Amino acid sequence: MRPEPESRSLVIAPQWIGDAVMTEPLLRRLHARGERLTVGALPSVAPVYRAMPQVQEVIEFPFAHGGLQFKARRALSKQLHGHFDTAYVLPNSLKSALLPFLASIPKRVGYLGEARVGLLTHRLKNPKNRPPMVTFYSALSGDKQGLESDRPQLQMPPEQIDAAWRAHGLQAGGYFVFAPGAEYGPAKRWPASHFAELAKSVASPVVLLGSAKEAPLCHEIAAAAGAGRCFDLSGKTSLADAFALIAGAKAVVSNDSGLMHVAAAFGVPQVALFGSSSPLHTPPLNDRAQVIWLKQDVAYQPPLECSPCFERECPLGHTRCLYDITPEAVLAALRDPSLAAT
């Protein structure tokens, strides 16, 4: 008997780093049942999928954030026509479902979203109470067992990790990574002054990672921490190099951000700081993670009735949920035996 032909699947990726990381368990499930995976992603998240060994190919989409960009999608659809049996559309937008439809991919799977009933052949209803994001994405596989136990995993060649820390005069496991940014807004960012105080308190050098937009924030932290305490690499590394530096770190301290999920997927010791958002929805799925969220601290008074608000800026103007997390509390979490970070 001839072997069954390999199923060819196109995965349309989300546009945010954290969301992209949380799709890994879905791709692992698809790969395990014999699907050959190609991921279509914006250049800003493509490195996430290159750190997933189950992905055979990554196509970088020539699209910008926002706008339908119909001509560009139609042109790319002609190149993809006839190459795939199934498409998994992970974002909920109309434009994300348009490319598989135009490419005439026979089976198109996704959640019901904005006016795209006719674009998808297999449609899942959006749950009323949205589950954790890993479960939400993994359900697109059609499997019903064990979704809650899935944890994202990223991998990089050891030589790539070694090259990254050597390039900056660092020693593997001999530095901390601080990721003080959060793309969503200031209501998710621990104060720069707190990061600086923490940098003064740890025993090893600190690497500051962030995008070019976050460079002023990182510069402020480095200046306040004092000469020689921080290697400010904000805006100076590729995303792949940032991943390698995280994978080689002694521990990572971050807000609820994409790099928080990257650290979790590499299994690096980490302390994750939550304020306006909730670790009940997007936790770092890592046995070596410590989460600090004052909402859950019964000793913290007065209670944070306003958290989580999920706003970009604090509606009340005080951002107590993050400002009142002290550098001493984070240092104590770093020294927890389960992290073995200091």
Fold: same for 7-149 and 160-334 = yes
- The whole-angstrom separation of Cα 111 and Cα 140 is 8
Q: Which residues of 50-78 are buried (b: 16+ CB within 10 A; e: fewer)?
A: bbbebbeebbebebeeeeebeeebeebbe
CATH number belonging to domain 7-149: 3.40.50.2000
- The whole-angstrom separation of Cα 302 and Cα 75 is 57
E strand residue ranges, the chain: 7-12, 35-41, 55-60, 86-89, 107-111, 122-124, 176-179, 206-208, 230-232, 251-255, 270-274, 289-293
Q: Closest by alpha carbon to 190, among 321, 79, 313? A: 321
Q: Give the three-class secondary structure for 64.
A: coil
- The pLDDT score that the predictor gives to residue 143 is 86
Amino acid found at 94: L
pLDDT in tens, 293-316: 999 999 999 999 999 999 999 999
CA 171 to chain centre: 25
Edge-to-edge strands, sheet with 107-111? 55-60, 35-41, 7-12, 86-89, 107-111, 122-124
- The whole-angstrom separation of Cα 91 and Cα 89 is 6
pTM summary value: 0.92
Sketch the domain layout of the chain as residue ranges: 7-149, 160-334
CATH number belonging to domain 160-334: 3.40.50.2000
pLDDT in tens, 253-264: 999 999 999 999
- The pLDDT score that the predictor gives to residue 340 is 61
Amino acid found at 244: A
Q: Is the pLDDT of residue 144 over 90?
A: no
pLDDT in tens, 34-53: 999 999 999 999 999 999 99
Q: Closest by alpha carbon to 189, among 325, 336, 296? A: 325
Q: Calculate the average pLDDT of the chain.
A: 92
What share of the chain has pLDDT > 70, as a percent? 96
Omega before 279 within 30 of 0, i.e. cis: no
- The pLDDT score that the predictor gives to residue 3 is 40
- The pLDDT score that the predictor gives to residue 84 is 98
Q: Give the three-class secondary structure for 223.
A: helix
Q: CB 214: neighbour CB atoms within 10 A? A: 20
pLDDT in tens, 164-186: 989 988 888 899 999 999 888 78
List the single range of 33-37, 99-103, 279-283, 331-335 with lowest mean pLDDT: 279-283
- What is the residue whose two structure tokens read 């297999």? 122
The C-alpha torsion from 135 through 138 and 133 to 57, rounded to 10°, is 160
Structure tokens at 285: 């799925």
